[in-house]
Amino acid sequence: MKTTGIFLTLILFSGIITQLNAQIAVRGDMVYTMNGDPVEGGVVLINDKTIERVGPADEIPIPDGYTIYSGAVVTPGIIDARSVVGLAGMFNYDHDQDQLELSNPVQPELRAIDAYNPREELVDFLLGLGVTTLHTGHAPGALASGQTMIVKTGGRYAEAVIDSSKMVVFTLGPGVTSNFSSPGTRSKSVAMLRSEFMKAQEYQQRRETSDEGKGPARDIKLETLVKVMQSELTALFSVHTATEIVAALRLAGEFGFPLVLAGASEAYLVIDEIREANVPVIIHPTMIRTFGEAQNASFETAAKLHEAGIPVVFQSGYESYVPKTRVVHYEAAIAVANGLPYEQGLASVTIDTARLLGIDDCVGSLEPGKDADVVIFNGDPFEYLTNVEVVIVNGEVVKE
């Protein structure tokens, strides 16, 4: 709730309107910085687009002229670790469903940034619930469906993009075989991916050894797979059963690419294998509908993975039905109710996701110098009846 001060000042200079630095103070009965212990009776000072100071209110005086917002609980902006929002629209209209291209089962060259719509209603919907950063892109359902991107929900087009190409989405399981005539079985799926990676290896070797101008013609599909094997892009494998999880680990071991598991409904059956491979997990939405390949999903999987020392974060995932998305901290809340420690639940939708995505230098915690992405709740963020009162992205109040 805003209490005093001036939010922004505009001046007119040479016919151009320029916004002066926004100066905001956020007070919270409890401030979860995600960089140490929570601060009871804390304050966050924001100057322009970044965080200036964070700490107890009795140690940080609020300068004159700062706009003050107050609430029960203050957190960093929520980060969704895996989404298709912005490619998938609110409803099942053909014209705004760009999350899965069905013309070929292997298309790693497709880029999310070429289809992302920052004005999609779902983006604004999540922003209003405190989700300030999305790792979004192509949906599961193809052997290689395309690339992902990282974007702020509070911006438009180029200004919102943090990373235009982060991971390549791969899928193993019946979701692929139902969409394409080939592959038809799990072993065929793995064989087709192995073949494509081997082609990429040969392609890169020929380009490196051929005389200038005499190498193979450029192939953006194979170049993308080369980037995966050279760790320029991460392989995001959507897998659910233990068989598929182990197959993904085997592929990563064979071709040496960095791997993140997504979904992993039966991860609790292969905890030792996942831990030995040192692979993080973007767990399925906790409240996923338990049928088909996700029939053995459990509310307790996140807690079990965390207890085993496996990095685990949460996703809204892909929904084939309207409104086409879940809300990531509601999913984390169910995991917290089923054994995941409370502050770990918060970390899994803030700083831990930021670390997994490699963006913890700018988002994920409330620290001086980081982007001023702040959410004010009127109660426990994991309580369904709690409301978001204020959302700040890059120092700008975007929801109030």
Strand partners, 88: 85, 97
pLDDT of residue 2: 54
Query: Is residue 97 a contact partner of residue 88, using CB atoms and an 8 Å limit?
Result: yes
Query: Is residue 312 a contact partner of residue 303, using CB atoms and an 8 Å limit?
Result: no
> How many residues are recorded in the chain?
400
Superfamily of domain 2-76+366-399: Urease, subunit C, domain 1 (2.30.40.10)
Q: pLDDT tens digit string along 348-375?
A: 999 999 999 999 999 999 999 999 999 9
Rounded to the nearest 10°, the torsion over CA 109, 110, 111, 115 is 170
**pLDDT 10s per residue in the chain (400 long)?**
555 443 333 333 333 333 457 899 999 999 999 999 999 999 999 999 999 999 999 999 999 999 999 999 999 999 999 999 999 998 888 888 999 999 999 999 999 999 999 999 999 999 999 999 999 999 999 999 999 999 999 988 888 999 999 999 999 999 898 899 899 999 999 999 999 999 999 999 999 998 887 889 999 999 999 999 999 999 999 999 999 999 999 999 999 999 999 999 999 999 999 999 999 999 999 999 999 999 999 999 999 999 999 999 999 998 887 778 999 999 999 999 999 999 999 999 999 999 999 999 999 999 999 999 999 999 999 999 999 999 999 999 999 9
How many whole angstroms separate alpha carbon 239 and alpha carbon 123? 26
How many whole angstroms separate alpha carbon 166 and alpha carbon 159? 17
Query: Is residue 365 a contact partner of residue 351, using CB atoms and an 8 Å limit?
Result: yes
Place of tokens 């072993």: 187
What is the domain partition of the chain in residue ranges?
A: 2-76+366-399, 78-357
Q: pLDDT tens digit string along 186-216?
A: 999 999 999 999 999 999 999 999 888 788 9
Query: Is residue 66 a contact partner of residue 57, using CB atoms and an 8 Å limit?
Result: no
For 210, residues 6+ apart whose C-beta sits below 8 A from its C-beta are 216
How many helices and strands (H and E) does the chain possess? 10, 19
Per DSSP, 138 falls in state P
pLDDT of residue 322: 76
Contacts of 305-311 with CB under 8 Å at 24 or more apart are 305/267, 305/268, 305/271, 305/274, 305/281, 306/340, 306/341, 306/344, 308/271, 308/275, 309/275, 310/267, 310/271, 310/274, 310/275, 310/279, 310/280, 310/281, 311/280, 311/281, 311/352, 311/355, 311/356
Query: Is residue 143 a contact partner of residue 194, using CB atoms and an 8 Å limit?
Result: no
Domain 78-357 adopts which CATH fold?
TIM Barrel (3.20.20)
Query: How much is the pTM?
Result: 0.93
